[in-house]
Amino acid sequence: MTGKLNVKRTILVGFAFFLISAFWQSYDKIVPLILTQRFGMKQTVSGIIMSLDNVFAVFMLPIFGALSDKVSTKFGRRTPFILLGTVVAVVFYIFLSLAPSLWMFILLLLATLIAMATFRSPAVALMPDVTEKPLRSKGNAVINLMGTAGGISVLAVGLFIKTGEAHAQNYPIYVATVCIIMIAALTVFLLTVKEVPWAQEAEARNRALEASTAAKDEAPATEKHRLSKPELISLCLILASVALWFTGYNAVTSKFSVYVEAVLPPRDPVTGAILGDPVVSYDLALIIAQIAAIIAYIPVGMIASRVGRKKSILAGIVMLSCAFGFAGLINANTPPIPMYILFALAGIGWATINVNSFPMVVELATGSDVGKYTGYYYTASMSAQIITPILSGFLVDKLGWGVFFPYAAIFAALSFVTMFFVKHGDAKPEQKGSLLEHLDTDD
C-alpha cells in the first residue's frame, strides 16, 4: 500500500533545486547586461555566449547523472556533487562579476557553467532516490515549487539592487547577494538532508511495493511498442512544437533584461540621452509571470482533465503569442501596468503549455521507453535554447529591438500550427486528487 508523501523531507531536498534556480534566474539577467554594457558586445555574439549553458547541458548532464549513480560515500551519491559543485560555482561566479577584461570574463563564465553542470542531474535525481515511486509526481511538484521560490527570491533581490546601465557598478553586489542565497540554501540542505538513510527507506518501500505488484506489472514493464506511422508523425509534430515555443519563450527570458535597459528608459527627445530608470522593472515583470504560473497550475490541470491536453496547449499558445505580440507595443511612454498584465498572461500560457506537453510525449511511450522519450523532449527543448539566443541576437543587431517581441510571438504562433495537426498523445489525464498533483509540471 502506498504511503503519504513526506512533504517536509521533500522541501528540504528541494533546497538543492532552490539554489540552482536562483543561479539561473540571476544568470539570465546579469550575464547579458555585462556582455553588452560592460564589454560592448553585439547581441549576436552575446547570444552565442548565452547558449553555452545549453550546449554544456546536452552532454554534461547525462554524464554526471550517470556518474553520480556509481558513486558511494557516507554522505550519499548525490550530496557530494551538490556540495562541491555549488561551492566551486559560487567562487567562480563572484570572480566573474569582477572580471576586468573580456577574456577573463569568458574563462570564468565557462568555469562557472561547468561547475553548475556537474551537479544539476544529481540534484534532480535525489528526489526520486528518497521518494516512493507512486509518490514521485507529488514530490516533483514540491521540487518545482522550491525551484520557483529560488527564482522569485533572486528577482526580489533585483528590485532593490539595480543592475542597469546607470548602475553598472552594482553587478558585484548583486552577484554576491545571489551567492549568499545559494550558500544559505546549501547550508540548510547539508544540515537537514540525510540522503543515505532516506534513500534506504525509499528503496525498501519500493521493493515491497514491487513484490506485491510483480504479477501485474511485469508484462507492461517489459513490453515493447513500435510506433505506427501516424503515431510517429504526431511525435515529430509534438517535438517540433516544443522546439518552436521554446525558441520564442527563451528568446525573451535570455534577452529581456537587456531589452528593458535598451528600449524602455525615458529619453530626451532631442539628444536621446537616458533620463531615468526603465518604465518597466525586469524583476517585477518576471515575479508576476511566475506567480501567475503557480496560480494557474490548478485550474489548468482541471481544464485539461475535461477538454484534453491538446486543446489546453493550443489555448496556452494563443495566450503566449498574444502576450508577446502586444508586449512589443509597450514603449518608454507607456504606463508599466500593461506590460505586467501581459507577463501575467504569458506566465499562465507557459504554465498551460508545460503542464500538458511533456505528458503528451510520454503518452506515446511504454514503461520501458519513458526514459528514451524523455530524452526526445529535452533534446528538442535544449536545441531550441541553443539556437534562439544566437538567432534572436543576430536579428536584433540587423533590424533593431523592434524585432524582439514579434520574433517571440511568431515562433510561438508557429507552434500552434504544428500542434494543431497532432493526432496522438491526447489522452485526457485523470482527475488529480490533490493540490500537489495539480502543481506537478513533470519538468
Helices 102-117 and 52-70: crossing angle, nearest 10°? Answer: 40
Give the number of domains in the chain. 2
Nearest-angstrom CA–CA distance, 317 and 296: 14
Beta strands in 65-214 (DSSP E): none
Phi, psi of 334 (to 5 degrees): -95, 140
Percent over 90 (pLDDT), the chain:
49
Q: Is residue 251 part of a domain?
A: yes
Most confident option among 17-26, 371-380, 418-427, 432-441: 17-26
Most confident option among 57-66, 158-167, 371-380: 57-66
Q: How confident is the model at residue 422 (pLDDT cuts 50, 70, 90)?
A: very high
| Averaged pLDDT for residues 368-396 | 84
Show the domain range for 143.
7-211
pLDDT at position 443 is 46
Max Cα separation, the chain? 79
Looking at the fold, whether 329 and 379 belong to one and the same domain comes out as: yes
Position with higher pLDDT, 271 vs 399: 399
Q: Is residue 128 part of a domain?
A: yes
Cell of 37: 554594457
Q: pLDDT tens-digit profile of 9-50?
A: 999 999 999 999 999 999 998 999 889 888 889 999 999 999
pLDDT at position 223 is 52
Residue with cell 513484490: 211
Residue type, 424: H
| Averaged pLDDT for residues 156-176 | 76
Cell of 65: 547523472
Query: Which H or E run contains 132?
Result: none
Residue 302 pLDDT greater than 60, yes or no: yes
Task: Give CA 353 to chain center in angstroms.
Answer: 13
| Averaged pLDDT for residues 144-164 | 85
| Averaged pLDDT for residues 118-145 | 81
Q: pLDDT tens-digit profile of 217-253?
A: 444 444 556 788 888 999 999 999 999 999 999 999 9
pLDDT at position 90 is 97
| Averaged pLDDT for residues 262-270 | 87
Looking at the fold, whether 277 and 407 belong to one and the same domain comes out as: yes
Looking at the fold, whether 336 and 371 belong to one and the same domain comes out as: yes
Residue 59: helix, strand or coil by DSSP?
Answer: helix
| Averaged pLDDT for residues 123-151 | 81
Nearest-angstrom CA–CA distance, 184 and 15: 9
Looking at the fold, whether 236 and 192 belong to one and the same domain comes out as: no
SS3 string of 192-228?
HCCHHHHHHHHHHHHHHHHHHHHHHHHHHHHCCCCCC
Helices 52-70 and 370-399: crossing angle, nearest 10°? Answer: 160
Q: Is residue 397 part of a domain?
A: yes
Q: Is residue 216 part of a domain?
A: no
Q: Is residue 82 part of a domain?
A: yes
Looking at the fold, whether 205 and 238 belong to one and the same domain comes out as: no
Query: Which residue, 261, 263, 255, is CA-closest to 47?
Result: 255
- Give exposure, 98-121, as e/b (b: 16+ Cβ within 10 Å): ebeeeeebbebbebbbbbbbbbbb
Position with higher pLDDT, 260 vs 143: 260
- The CATH number linked to 233 is 1.20.1250.20
Q: Is residue 218 part of a domain?
A: no
What residues form DSSP beta bridges with 50? none
Task: Give CA 377 to chain center in angstroms.
Answer: 14
pLDDT at position 58 is 80
Query: Which H or E run contains 308?
Result: none
Nearest-angstrom CA–CA distance, 249 and 324: 9
| Averaged pLDDT for residues 168-184 | 89
Looking at the fold, whether 171 and 268 belong to one and the same domain comes out as: no
Looking at the fold, whether 233 and 118 belong to one and the same domain comes out as: no
Out of 211, 234, 252, pick the residue that ends a domain: 211
pLDDT at position 217 is 47
**Mean pLDDT, the chain, integer:** 86
Phi, psi of 127 (to 5 degrees): -60, -50
Looking at the fold, whether 298 and 435 belong to one and the same domain comes out as: yes
Residue 31 and residue 50 in contact, taking contact as beta carbons nearer than 8 Å: yes
Residue 267 and residue 279 in contact, taking contact as beta carbons nearer than 8 Å: no
Nearest-angstrom CA–CA distance, 321 and 416: 9
| Averaged pLDDT for residues 436-442 | 55
Looking at the fold, whether 141 and 190 belong to one and the same domain comes out as: yes
Residue type, 279: V
Looking at the fold, whether 177 and 241 belong to one and the same domain comes out as: no
Tally of residues, the chain = 443
pLDDT at position 49 is 92
pLDDT at position 222 is 45
Residue 215 pLDDT greater than 70, yes or no: no
Q: Is residue 1 part of a domain?
A: no
pLDDT at position 438 is 56
Residue 436 pLDDT greater than 70, yes or no: no
Q: Is residue 375 part of a domain?
A: yes
How many angstroms separate the Cα of 160 from the Cα of each of 101, 265, 285, 289?
A: 27, 18, 14, 19
Q: How confident is the model at residue 271 (pLDDT cuts 50, 70, 90)?
A: confident
Looking at the fold, whether 312 and 349 belong to one and the same domain comes out as: yes
Out of 168, 188, 211, pick the residue that ends a domain: 211
| Averaged pLDDT for residues 78-88 | 95
Residue 404 pLDDT greater than 70, yes or no: yes
pLDDT at position 368 is 54
Output the pTM of the full model: 0.80
pLDDT at position 163 is 66
Q: pLDDT tens-digit profile of 332-342?
A: 989 999 999 99
Q: pLDDT tens-digit profile of 280-300?
A: 999 999 999 999 988 887 787
Phi, psi of 267 (to 5 degrees): -130, 155
